[in-house]
Amino acid sequence: MCGIAGVVGKSNDDVVKKVIERLEKLEYRGYDSAGVAVVSNGQIERLRAVGKLRNLKAKLEQNPLSGSVGIGHTRWATHGKPTENNAHPIVSENLAIVHNGIIENYKELKFELQKDGFIFETETDTEVIAHLLQREINRGLSSRKSFENVLKVIEGSYAIAAIFSSLPNTIIAARQKSPLAVGFGDNMCVGSDVSSILPCSEVVYLEDGEYVEITEDNALFFNKNFQQVKPKKQKISIDLENTDKGEYSHYMLKEIMEQSSTIRKTILHNKIDKNIFEGVSRILILACGTSHHAGMVAKYWFEKFLKIPTDVEIASEYRYRSPIIGENVLAIAITQSGETIDTLEATEYVRRYNNSKVVAIANVKNSAISRISDVTFYTEAGIEIGVASTKAFTAQLTILAELAFHNYDFLTREFQNLPTLCEETLDLQNEIKDLAKRICSASSAIYLGRGSLYPIAMEGALKLKEISYIHAEGFAAGEMKHGPIALIDDDTPVICLCPHNELFEKTSSNIQVALARGKNVIIFTDSDGSKFLPPETTKIVLPKIPEEFAPILYVIPLQLLAYYAASLRGTDVDKPRNLAKSVTVE
C-alpha cells in the first residue's frame, strides 16, 4: 500500500518533476491523496492534494515547488481519512517524512509527545514519527543519530523516507516489513519498488531493520544494529516495453488480452524439478485474495495428480490460530507482488516453527518472498498496472498446473495448446461485451461452479466486486440449495460455469433449479455442453479443453465480463475505489 519516491539531485538540479514521474509509476499503490516536499533555501516546502496524482500536478502548475532533494507519496489511507490534512509528506518543524505501513505503538508515543508539548495536526500515525525525529534534533543530535533513536522506539511495519532542512542533499530512509529500494544512476533515489527508481541502472533492496543515508553521489547502508554494511548492488533488469495502454481504453483490458503470451512465457521460463515433491507428506498453500483462489484450484490438482494432502490457508488468518504444521510439509507461498505482508508473515511463521521447505510463486523478481523461500517460480506477467489482477492470476495457475502435472507427459503436451485456446476465448470479447449489458445495472450477482471451477466462480465474483462495485458472491453450485438460492430472482444474474465434464450433469441440474426461480441465467460452457443445456438459456461457448486446464480458460471470460460491466457503469477500472495493488499493511 502507498508509494514512496525520493530523489537527490546533482548540482542544484530541481527534482520535483523527477519525483512526480516516479509517483506516476506508483499510483497503483494508492490514490486517496498525493504530496511532495523539498528542501529549498534551507526550508521545507510542501504541496499536497486529495485524490489522484493529477490533482497534485494541477496544484503544482499553480504553485510550483523547486529543490535539489525531494520526497513524494501517493497514499492508501490507513490511519485517518483521505483528506489533504492527512496526506503525506508529514512535516514537523525542520523535516518532512513519508511513510508506508502502520506504527502499532503510536498511541503511547503520541501521548508522550503531547506531554512534551508537540501539537498534532493530523489523524495519522505517521505524525508520531515526524515529531519523534524533531524531538531528537531539538536535543542537539545529528539527523542520523535522531533517525536511529526513532527506529529504536517505533513498532510495526514501515518504509520511511525523511528530508531535513539542514541537509539540502540527503534522504534518510528505513524499512521494516514494507518494501524499499535504493537506486544508483544519474540521480540517487529511493522508492517503493524497482519501477519507481528507474531510470537508475543498479538497485539495492533494503532488508528488514536496515536504513540508508542517501546523498547526491553515494549511499551509506546500516544494519539493524546500526553498523555500516556494504550491500551488493544488483543490475536492474525490468521489461518496461508496452507499459502504456496503446490502443486499449484501460490497462486492465490490455492485460486481459496479454494472457496468452504471458502463459507462453511462464511455461517457457519455469522448469520443474522432478524431485520437488520427494518426501513431502503434505502441501500447505499460503495466499490472500486472488492468489488464494489460485491456491484453491491447486488443491484440486495436487490431490488428484500428486496424491498429496493439500491445505489452502488465508495467509492473514493463518498464524493467529496456532496451526499444526506437521512434518515433511512443503509450503507454497503465492503473492503477485512478492511483498504481501500477510503472506510474508505467514511464511515466516512456518519458517520459525518448522524446517519445512518453502516454494514461492511471485511476479516480481528480488521481492521479499523470494528472499525467504528455498525456491521461487516467477510468473512472467511483466508489469501489471491494473489494480484488479488478471494476467498475473492465470500465470499463477500456469505454474501451479506445471507443478501438479509435471509427471504426466500427456498433460504436459496438452499444456502447450493452452495459449492458443486462450486466444480463441479472447476472440469472444464482443459477445461478452453485449452480455455485460444484462448485469451492469444489477445490485447483486451469483456465480456458480463445481470442482476446480468453484474457486473460479469466486474469482469471477471478486473481479465484478472490485471494479464495478456490484455485490457478487461465488458459490459451489451444490451449495446453492443450502441458502444462496434465497437470493435468486428475475433481476439477479446467475453466472454458471458448466463445461461438459464429469460434473456436467450435476451442474446442469443446479442450473435448472436457478432457472425455476429467475430468468437472468448466463452459462459458460463448451460445444458439447451447449447441446444438452436448455435452448432458452444464454450461453457463451468456449473452446473445448481438457478439464484439468478449464480453470485457466474459464476465468478469462469472467474477467472480460467484469471489465465491460464496470466500463458501462463508468467506474475507474484501473484504479477502483479503496483498493491498492500491493497490500503491505495488515
Enzyme catalytic residues: 2, 581
Query: Sheet harboring 167-176: ordered strands across?
Result: 90-92, 95-103, 156-164, 167-176, 211-214, 219-222, 228-229
- What DSSP character marks residue 155? -
| 3 state SS for 455-476 | HHHHHHHHHHHHHHCCEEEEEE
Three-state DSSP at 279 gives coil
Contacts (Cβ under 8 Å, ≥6 apart) of 538: 435, 438, 521, 522, 523
**CA distances from residue 393 to 344, 362, 555 in whole angstroms, order as listed:** 18, 10, 9
Contacts (Cβ under 8 Å, ≥6 apart) of 394: 259, 262, 263, 422, 552, 555, 556
Percent helix, strand and coil across the chain, each to the nearest 5 = 40, 25, 35
Max CA-CA distance within the chain? 82
Residue 134 to residue 150: CA distance in whole angstroms: 10
**CA distances from residue 375 to 314, 330, 332, 369, 458 in whole angstroms, order as listed:** 21, 11, 10, 10, 29
